[in-house]
Amino acid sequence: MNAMGRLIKAEMKLMVRDPLVLTFVFAFPIVTMLIIGGAFGTTPTPAFENTNPSHWYVASYLTVTIAAGGLVMLPVHLASYRERGVLRRFTAAGFPRWSFAIAQLIVGLVTVTVACALLLAVAAPVYGIPALHGAWRVVAALVLGAVAFVSIGVLLGTLLPSARSAQAVGLLIFFPSFLLGAGGPPPHVMGHMVKTIAGPLPLTQLTDAVRDPWLGIGQATGSLLVVAALAVAATAVAARRAAL
């Protein structure tokens, strides 16, 4: 097996053993989706663009797993590696320059994919999975969003000096994004100021790009383009920063 393969294999095992991954990326979105998905019933209302509120949150919470992976899991993981000299050891051992960045991207994407699958598996018997109205747009948004947030996570991990600071900053970005852009109240019940703040957030854009075509609310082409641009920019910067 080549260096990249060995690195991916080892990092996969470590991800599964990381309590932060298990709680934040796997458990947290599922538990909160189950709670809030049942809070507003299943009757379509204008606040939820005349869709089933439970389905609204099932479609929204896939992006919560993506944000949790990108904003909480990866920054802590990478900052801890840098702080403890793990990256220096990889560098000294001759791992190829781009191997670590690519391994993190792949491991991040796999983790997010598994977390999304788990979330849907739990949602299916409880609230049902809403029908996909614009499948390719949803898939494109999920893939681009995962790449964007994983890259942002890698970038934060290379910028923040320690695991503790990465955790603090990651949570500080994650929770407002989560409440305003995915897992909180729908935009229609937000006040003007809050809606203005929530609108441009990356997680709001991603959630719109996934939820709107999924539930047949709209195309969300603008949001999809924003997420695509974010994915390209974040990946380019993160790959440079995470090169060994």
Partner 1 sequence: MVKSNVVTVRGLRKAYGTRVVVDDLDLDVHAGEILGLTGANGAGKTTTVECIQGLRRPDSGTLSVLGFDPVTQAARMRPLLGSQLQDSALPDRLRVTEAVELFARQHARDGGELLDRFGLAARRKSAFSSLSGGERQRLFLVLALLNQPRLVILDELTQGLDPAARRNVWDAIRQLHADGTTVLLVTHEMVEAEALCDRIVVLRDGRVLDSGTPAELVARHANVAMVHFTWPDPPSALLAEMRVLDGVRDVKRSAGRITVEGSRATIAHVGAVLVRYGPVPADLDVQVPSLDDAMLTLLNGTPAKAGTVPVTDEQLIGGRR
Question: How near is the Cβ of 237 to partner 1 at its closest, in Å?
Answer: 21
Question: How near is the Cβ of 219 to partner 1 at its closest, in Å?
Answer: 43
Question: How near is the Cβ of 104 to partner 1 at its closest, in Å?
Answer: 13
Please, which contacts does 11-17 make with residues 24 or more away whose CB atoms are closer than 8 Å?
11/103, 11/104, 11/107, 12/107, 12/110, 15/73, 15/77, 15/107, 15/111
Single-letter code of the amino acid located at 130: P
Q: Of 10, 31, 229, 236, which lies in the binding site for partner 1, with binding defined by CB under 8 A?
A: 10
Q: Given the complex with partner 1, which of 97 and 188 has the nearer CB atom?
A: 97
Considering only 11-19, 67-75, 123-131, 178-186, which stretch makes contact with partner 1 by CB under 8 A?
Answer: 11-19
The contacts of residue 44 (CB under 8 Å, 6+ apart) are 50, 51, 52, 53
Helix, strand or coil, per DSSP, at residue 51: strand
Backbone angles phi, psi at 97, to 5 degrees: -50, -45
Is residue 240 part of the contact set for partner 1 (CB under 8 A)?
no
Q: Of 96, 176, 199, 216, which lies in the binding site for partner 1, with binding defined by CB under 8 A?
A: 96
Cβ atoms within 10 Å, residue 5 = 11
Q: Given the complex with partner 1, which of 9 and 188 has the nearer CB atom?
A: 9
Binding characters for partner 1, 75-94, by CB under 8 A (x = yes): ------x--xxx-xx-xxxx
Q: Please answer whether residues 238 and 101 qualify as being in contact, where contact means their C-beta atoms are separated by less than 8 angstroms.
A: yes
Helix, strand or coil, per DSSP, at residue 219: coil
Q: Given the complex with partner 1, which of 1 and 193 has the nearer CB atom?
A: 1
Q: Given the complex with partner 1, which of 13 and 164 has the nearer CB atom?
A: 13
13-42: which residues touch partner 1 (CB under 8 A)? Answer: 13-14, 17-18
Helix, strand or coil, per DSSP, at residue 96: coil
Chain residues binding partner 1 by CB under 8 A are: 3, 6-7, 9-10, 13-14, 17-18, 81, 84-86, 88-89, 91-94, 96-97
